[in-house]
Structure 1
Amino acid sequence: MASGNAGRIIMKSACYVVAVSQLSGDITADESAHPGDEHRSILHVGRPFQMKYNEASVYHNRGCCRCPKMYLDQTNFFYIQMKRYSTGMIIRLSLYILFAVLPLAFTSCSLTEPKIDDGVITSEKEQVRSSTALVANKLAELQRGDNVEILERQENWLRIRVPGNDPIEGWINARHVASKQVVDQAWEIFNQARDVPAQAVGALKRETKLRLSPDRTSEENVIALLPSGTRFEIIAKTRTERKREARADAGEGNDSTEEGPIRYDTWYQIRLPQEFVIRAGWVYSYYVELKIPDEISALESAGRKFVAWQSFGSVQDEESGEVHHYVILEKTIFKPDAVADFDRIYTVVWDPIGHAYNSIYVESNIRGKLPMKITKLQGGRASLALTLLDKENNPSTVNYTIRLENGRYRMEKARSKR
């Protein structure tokens, strides 16, 4: 190829054909050349067009030709120059270009299209489809945690590329893909609360949105959709004032606390099992069911509900096997307090002789915030740290000790520190 033509492909009727240079440049076709020539290549487009394939786009009559998109990969190199060959030779070479070269351009084209974002598959399994149509070919199956490149967003769909030795391009529902940037933010939430002990265990009653923050006024903080039945640890709880523009949608119902004209939404900060790509975030409490251990579920008193529970030790029972001792935090139902998480401490230990729970400590008429932190029994002693609030909602740390003396447990308040 002459150096003057490097990086440019020129088709002037059938007299000159230069196809698929590996150098970046322009592709032009000019039907004005040799206007009297009767030997026209079947590749001749009939109108001037220009293509800058280093920009991965096609322009035809000044309009963007999006379907199909034709991109040229730098690995495809083909160069032909014809000068006044016979009509048969022209047709044969044109057919070769049509069926040999152009398919390579179309198949490798999309692999060089620039991505607009990186994504991570959040669902357990999901199909890559050939289109967004109701009936479409299944191109591949992706697993939770697979990385993809996002090429285009179209309403509820994403056009993606699956990187690898044999890259695949197709469509996937956007609900199954999280932006890599969002995933990184969710991991920051997880790392910040990595050492916080589980306060309770919950499960979703239906599909629910996992969010970066306890706010449902927009969809910008949505990380992923968690399926019904998903179990998780609850590590924090909060209430936020409901904005007037916020309203229940298909994934969130109504679990507000009302104080006159002000309404509050209740949220749980959760920690997901290890098999999940995203390990932490916030969920709206309306579709969360607390999974209270069977052995203490009957201890929930009338007019109160369990908020949190932690075991500080266990004992062997001949009939029931290993049974745990618990510190339980409760809150009065419908009590108009949008700040405190609990208002009662209730500690029980299992009696292996009487085969029943005995209460060793009860403290009511308090106001506190999660989390509670327990150091389990060692040498017959355990400790508990709680954050309690005064009337002005100022927090203070209150410590408790649990001791085993002469075969009986005792619990008492140790000291308070502002």
Structure 2
Amino acid sequence: MSPHRPFQRYRFSVLAALVILVSQMACLKTAIGGSKLDDGVVISERVDMFNSTALVNSKVGQLEKGDDVAIYHQAEVNGLEWLKVQRLKDAKVGWVEARHVVSRKLLDACRALDEQSAHIQPQIGGRLKRETRLRAQPSRDSDVITILKGGTEFDILKRQRVERRTAGTDESESPNTNTDEPDVKYDTWYLARFPEGSIYRIGWLYGGSVEIVEPPAIAGIIGSGRRMVGAIPFGTTLDKSGMALKNYFILDKQIFSRDPTIDFDRIYVVRIDQKSGNYTAAYYELSVRGVYPVTYQNDSDTVATFKVPLLDKSGNLSQVEYTAGLVNNVWTVTKGKLPSPTETPRRGRR
């Protein structure tokens, strides 16, 4: 027997294995229907996989939230976007609706944005009026992270007014016609944060699709002609029945304001009156020129502080501190001295 024969047999076995592997990969590629387009992550709790996009099809499996998939094909059928995917953990292949999957690259960008915005605290709650695209940047032509259903709720972190460079991509991004946004060449966008457990935690939403959600306890308290844009709870006060209720640091704006560059023009702080059990004014300041976001520390039972970005007549920005504290068991608000402007950004169009 030749001393080289065992090595030759080993070499031939390796070559055979490689041939089989290549053949299997070719078969898999043929079965999937093309080369991989992208990597994705499932964002819905459970997603059915089908053997085709036809009206009559068969369920071939189910994906779960957080599953990693490879995307091999995309198609639009009867107005619905579909993706042909392969689940990485078991190589299962099937068609799913595209709204259940987000691109891995976009998800990474979303997580990076979340890290950059971790210091921004919620200003007020929001809710979608209709189905809306969640975008990676405040722009009509920015990448779409996912499509959210109407009624989806979130925290609003800040507002940004951006020049419109492209036409609307759908009805949910039609030109803004709010009375405080007369210049239709600019759009309002909100940076939104979603609850813990969401695969995507943050993103930008077109302002025309966003409804501000006032806290139920103070809904309608600011009266007609104004719109609440910020409501930060702090401290507690016992009402006449002994129930502990939150006080609120409210930001609002005239509906017919002619200053679209600001987010609010009034600071209104309300507290619970122990005798009546109703909210009464603790502080009131009109004709401010304020912008998001307000930072605050309100985890104490006796004191809360709020740093509010205010613009002067020249457009210079200063952080003004307001302190709410218990004085003789009554919440009282004081305003700190106006500091020298720390920057002169000349905000212009916002």
TM-score bin (small chain): 0.7 to 0.9
One-letter identity of the residue aligned with 1:266? T
Q: Share of identical aligned residues, percent?
A: 35
Q: Which has the larger radius of gyration?
A: 1
Residue in 2 that maps onto 1:22: 17
Separation of aligned partners in 2, 1:404 and 1:196: 26
> For residues 73 and 150 of structure 1, what CA distance do their matches in structure 2 show?
19
Instruction: With the length of structure 1 as denominator, give the TM-score of the two structures.
Output: 0.71
- Which shifted more, 388-397 or 269-278? 388-397
- 1:319 corresponds to: 241
Distance (whole Å) between structure 1 residues aligned to residue 183 and residue 120 of structure 2: 35
Corresponding residue number in structure 1 for 2:59: 138
The DSSP-based 3-state class of the residue aligned with 2:246 is strand
Aligned residue in 2 for 1:299: 221
Against the structure 1 CA distance between its residues 197 and 260, is the aligned structure 2 distance closer, same or farther, given a 3 Å change threshold? closer
Is the CA contact 2:110–2:200 (under 8 Å) kept in the aligned structure 1?
yes
Query: Counterparts in 2 of 1:66-105, with a 5 A limit?
Result: 72-73=23-24
CA–CA distance in structure 2, aligned partners of residues 191 and 279 of structure 1: 10
> Residue 125 of structure 1 corresponds to which residue in structure 2?
46
When residues 123 and 378 of structure 1 are mapped into structure 2, their CA distance, relative to the original with a 3 A threshold, is closer
* 1:108 Cα deviation from its structure 2 partner: 9.0
Structure 1 match to 2:74: 153
Return the structure number with greater relative CO, CA threshold 8 A, min gap 6: 2
Aligned mates of 1:320, 1:205 — CA distance in 2: 37
Match of 1:178 among 98, 102, 107: 102
The alignment yields a C-alpha RMSD, in angstroms, of 2.9
Q: Find the counterpart in structure 1 of residue 347 from structure 2.
A: none
Aligned in 2, Cα 1:337/1:273: closer, same or farther, shift over 3 Å?
same
Cα distance between partner residues in 2 of 1:390 and 1:327? 21
How far the C-alpha of 1:112 sits from its partner, in A, is 12
Contact persistence 2:235–2:301 (CA under 8 A): no
Indicate the residue corresponding to 2:4 in structure 1.
Answer: none
Per-residue deviation at 1:24? Answer: 3.6
Q: Distance in 2 between matches of 1:261 and 1:111?
A: 49
Which residue does the alignment assign to 1:242? Answer: 164
Residue 211 of structure 1 corresponds to which residue in structure 2? 135
| Residue in structure 2 matched with residue 68 of structure 1 by the alignment | none
Counterpart Cα distance in 2 of 1:382 and 1:163: 49
1:249 and 1:108, CA in 2 relative to 1: closer, same or farther beyond 3 A? Answer: closer
Report the counterpart of residue 154 of structure 2 in structure 1. Answer: 232
Cα separation, 2, equivalents of 1:333 and 1:248: 27
Distance 1:284 1:334, change over 3 A: same
Structure 2: distance between partners of 1:260 and 1:232: 27
CA distance in 2, matches of 1:346, 1:178: 41
* Aligned residue type for 1:23: L
Aligned to 1:373: 295
What TM-score, normalized by structure 2, do the two folds share? 0.84
**Equivalent residues in 2 for 1:1-20 (5 A)?**
none
* Residues in 2 aligned to 1:296 and 1:389: alpha-carbon distance in whole angstroms: 27
Unaligned runs of 5+ in 1: 8-19, 26-52, 55-71, 75-104
